Amino acid sequence: MIDKQALIDRFVSYVTIDTESDPNSDTTPSSEKQWDLARKLAGELEAMGMTDVTIDENAYIMATLPSNVAHKVPTIGFVSHFDTTPDFTGKDVKPQIIENYDGGNIVLNKEQNIILSPDYFDDLLQYKGQTIITTDGTTLLGADDKAGITEIMEAMQYLLAHPEIKHGTIRVGFTPDEEIGRGAHKFDVEKFGADWAYTMDGSQIGELEYENFNAAGAVVTIEGKIVHPGYAKGKMVNSMYIATDYINSLPRFETPEHTEGREGFFHLYSIEGGVDSTKLEYIIRDHDKNHFEARKAMMVQLANELNEQLEKELVTVTMKDQYFNMREKVEPVMHIVDIAEEAMKALGIRPLIKPIRGGTDGSQLSFMGLPCPNIFAGGHNFHGRYEYVPVESMMRAVEVIVKIAEITAQREQ
């Protein structure tokens, strides 16, 4: 039986440590404060009895739970990240614990009238009668992905305390900077030494994912010419008007707010500029590789067409691939998804197998040679003040980790 209070205490001890990553930093980890939790985790792994505990110069943590069976079993891994997003503050997190949630509004912050309501976030109603951990409305919670870390730690603690549960060698990995797309960049797959792994980084209970977006970032720069507006005829070139033409030439309804499932999109997330220069920043996403390449080509072609119309090279596009759909790396070893699905079903959890409308360390790790599907960590409304996590979902995630380890050992007998 998973110790509910111990899990809550561990989770709260993690989320109250500020680990916000910094996209403007070139270091790894990108923020010095990530070391605070990294060192704490390494110390806890050693204290509980894990072996081969290491923390490298970039704050990547690895540890081993040795096999307790005589027969050969594949080495499996579980991975989570300890940074939180820079999109919303994770400083001075004050978790609120709501016992026996009654299905009504949760007042996060009375003074600021911030309310977590099932009228807007109807997923809340799934957790009526459960214990929910929320923010106080002024910060994010950090369940992404400190819930995943908590679950892995609790699962290792449980397996150490219950040697009657048979398992092979299990590797644990905790990473910095996932939220800024660098979580796997310096992950030493060879050192980790697992045949496959699972990221504990999904959302609601039951999620099991082995597909994600192909992703790229694009910067569109438009150069203009500024002169005194009273003498501008035939001389001024207003880059903002050209930028508007560019924006409006992309498919209007192929944006995040109009798409779902496997549908891709162009997402304009930043505009900076004036008359003489405007910069547009986009992310490009699509599950289908051919459609993904077509989206990138469309953005370049549009710039070329505008330059032809203007008879000047005023529009430039720079583009960088970020990650790819891990499906092509996981499908050849689908038994690793089957094991996770079997574990959930054995525990009475309905698997929700669906594509991720985003990315995960598991995507990059899969292309680095470590096939790595994604499993639920239990949280909702990540990256904002309305983030919450049901404690019972976290407890079920711990059980899933334990059951995966058990099934993997049984399959090899």
The Cα 192–Cα 186 span in angstroms is 12
Number of domains in the chain: 2
The Cα 349–Cα 341 span in angstroms is 9
Distances (CA, A) of 178 to 19, 85, 104, 184, 203: 11, 8, 34, 7, 16
Which secondary structure element, helix H or strand E, spans residue 308, and what is its range? helix 289-310
Judgement on whether residues 87 and 185 belong to the same structural domain of the protein: yes
Q: What pLDDT, on a 0 to 100 scale, did the predictor assign at position 146?
A: 98
Judgement on whether residues 331 and 317 belong to the same structural domain of the protein: no
Q: What pLDDT, on a 0 to 100 scale, did the predictor assign at position 5?
A: 97
Please say which residue of 267, 300, 323 terminates a domain.
Answer: 323
Type of residue found at 403: K
Question: What CATH number did the domain enclosing 183 receive?
Answer: 3.40.630.10
Judgement on whether residues 403 and 304 belong to the same structural domain of the protein: no
Judgement on whether residues 183 and 248 belong to the same structural domain of the protein: no
Mean pLDDT by 10 residues, the chain (413 residues): 95 98 95 98 98 98 97 97 95 97 96 96 96 97 97 98 97 96 94 98 95 95 94 94 97 96 95 97 95 98 97 96 92 97 98 88 93 97 96 98 97 69
Question: What CATH number did the domain enclosing 300 receive?
Answer: 3.30.70.360
Please say which residue of 290, 323, 356 terminates a domain.
Answer: 323
Q: Which of 178, 209, 387, 399 is catalytic?
A: 178
Judgement on whether residues 108 and 235 belong to the same structural domain of the protein: no
Judgement on whether residues 172 and 305 belong to the same structural domain of the protein: no
User: Cα torsion at 325, 61, 58, 359 (round to 10°)?
Assistant: 20
Judgement on whether residues 310 and 342 belong to the same structural domain of the protein: no
Q: Which of 22, 83, 177, 179 is catalytic?
A: 83
Distances (CA, A) of 205 to 45, 75, 138, 333, 389: 26, 25, 26, 24, 10
Please say which residue of 282, 297, 323 terminates a domain.
Answer: 323
Q: What pLDDT, on a 0 to 100 scale, did the predictor assign at position 213?
A: 94
The Cα 198–Cα 191 span in angstroms is 16
Judgement on whether residues 51 and 146 belong to the same structural domain of the protein: yes
User: Is residue 83 annotated as a catalytic residue, yes or no?
Assistant: yes
Judgement on whether residues 272 and 182 belong to the same structural domain of the protein: no
The Cα 2–Cα 157 span in angstroms is 10
User: Is residue 178 annotated as a catalytic residue, yes or no?
Assistant: yes
pTM (two decimals): 0.90
Judgement on whether residues 149 and 260 belong to the same structural domain of the protein: no
Which DSSP category does 109 fall into?
E
Domain that holds residue 311: 214-323
Q: What pLDDT, on a 0 to 100 scale, did the predictor assign at position 357?
A: 87
Residue 35 CB neighbours (<10 A): 14
376 forms bridges with which residues in the sheet? 202
Judgement on whether residues 38 and 78 belong to the same structural domain of the protein: yes
The Cα 218–Cα 255 span in angstroms is 15
Roughly how many angstroms between the first and final C-alpha of the chain, as a whole number? Answer: 26
Q: What pLDDT, on a 0 to 100 scale, did the predictor assign at position 206?
A: 97
CB burial of 297-335 (b: ≥16 within 10 Å; e: otherwise) equals ebbbebbeebeeeeeeebbebeeeebbbbbbebbeeeee
Judgement on whether residues 308 and 383 belong to the same structural domain of the protein: no
